[in-house]
Structure 1
């Protein structure tokens, strides 16, 4: 096998161009054999020149030419191995996908595609070679992700542990704007006094939850030192609060009313008026129901629309019930539920359906419209905003763990490929 592969390299070494009197001129050389493929000297030189050009633009120092060549050879050998796997897997990048990637690269540099091409060529790089190198990067990236992903396992405990560490690191940056009301004990209180204070505190909490003005109640009822300022405690980090309060307040959302908290002075009621330094992510969910009618050879588009318009007129006139009509006539899988789609992120829906819901107020119906599934009569039955911060943090922690492990597993995977491959590197003639 080894001798056979050497014959391949010798064939490339003898690759010539005939000029007058059959004089031979070497066109290219083989720099390395990688299984049944080769790395050409021209590829090595092109990549070295590209790295040098990029380093010159960023004023980055480079190692010696020999050290640089070793690094370039390693990358080209690794790319060849991965591309060989890509061929077996059938991974391809079409010209259209490649053009989209190059256009995005140009836009990231605030350039048109033509300007981007001129910039590449100005650096002394042939654009077509650059274009093909991007195709290689896309293919090798896809192959690597597919091959390494299955080697990575992240346990729920790992995510929990990282979330705890992240929380400790960010706690000092989070501040809470607090309001405080103290329903104080009389001097030398008896049990009856403490019970009465607790009853008053619970009544205050109920008033606040029913929408009463916090500052007004604080001025009227609080025995705290900030009563005249409406109980405003100002901005405090967790570390600046009394331990008893910090343990209860930490992690609470804006608008939360906490208490009654018993202290030596009485019962405290705390409101989280605002939070800063903590990233909060909110997502909107909608709840809707619909009646779906699918056009067919028998049922025309116009007839499907007309049927739904008739349903809408009857519902608005009080002559029919949406739920009953959906159960009887809807062709969607939700017909048994009266067309109810439940709570969902609107982005999961067909674009036409999502756009229709965006224009509706709660309990409003949309006139019949067409989506990729058919004709719909839709009613928005609810809209709510959810705090997705916890989910966002869990996803962030998972991605951080994934990237850590991906780097290590990717290195191991490449090493295994190289250990199993036939690789022969030839000395440079320079």
Structure 2
């Protein structure tokens, strides 16, 4: 068990060192305020400037949407919770060796710009700056999202198990459904209680949940209540779960909202994490979905104690040079050297929705034209040399039902396991909120 006093002293000392850098410059600048530590998270810190920055972002977003917000104290609490979670994820990512290169970050931001209708990065950058955010801060936020996404996927996917019987049962259910063309925009509020709650804990949480339901039934703004009260990861987004069909949402939620009407509120319903409250924010017909599938092949080299990161990258650079010089065939090199399950077929990954891939792999493919190679890059699996061999557009509204069923079940279980996993990480961490003087392990 980590010693709280040792951690606290060490982290605060490092925080003071950070604040003291460029001390002479501070004297010349006259009373430049030093940043303060808002929370200690294991051996890292959350700074007061980060908390205020996130609170301001939420306020700006709400103002642009005409959305009312709860008190500043409630906003600060939710912002602190998110930043503590981010800090834990980044620390875990560092231990796992997850790295996002500047080149990968640039490609991700270019894709974000395209998805938001910007033809060039200059206009997109101006939009970010005009929204009140510094460009460097935005870049690092995107980098952080990429790291935390890879950490979550790598940690949670091994906890998800799907049996053939589950797939068969869902396929049969989908074939019998009469509401398959309906999608629901759901709002979710979680009133949590401890892992091993006492009767008093349960009563207190239930009373809070009942009060939330009463407020919602009396017309209170759902997003405002969610930001103020919810313990779910979507709290700062107002509890918005987005658009989902019956088969895409957790089974419990599906049973609640099936064939119900817009604006209906359900709950509180108790689960292992707390009391859940659901509201149907909107209903629409199922949208036609077109996806661009890609066909690619790759060679995967996994770093180890014996094989360094630099050596793995150099091996792939040498292979690329051989391929481009006509001295070797991709297929043969993949069969001989690749450590992935596709090595026996020359690294061929077949046709796939790129969103199903590791984010780094997806971003690399997005930059390529057919038959083009990408420079070696790092993902959560290792180092890749990849070639894009084909592109096509598919109507994914009604894809192969078995594949669709598998993905739906995986998404459901991944979402549930992700919340449980994150709670375990939080429970094992040393966290101290400085301005409240409280701590937990």
RCO higher in 1 or 2 (8 Å CA, sep ≥ 6)? 2
Q: Normalised by the shorter chain, which TM-score bucket?
A: 0.3 to 0.5
Larger radius of gyration: 1
> TM-score if structure 2 supplies the norm length?
0.47
> TM-score if structure 1 supplies the norm length?
0.48
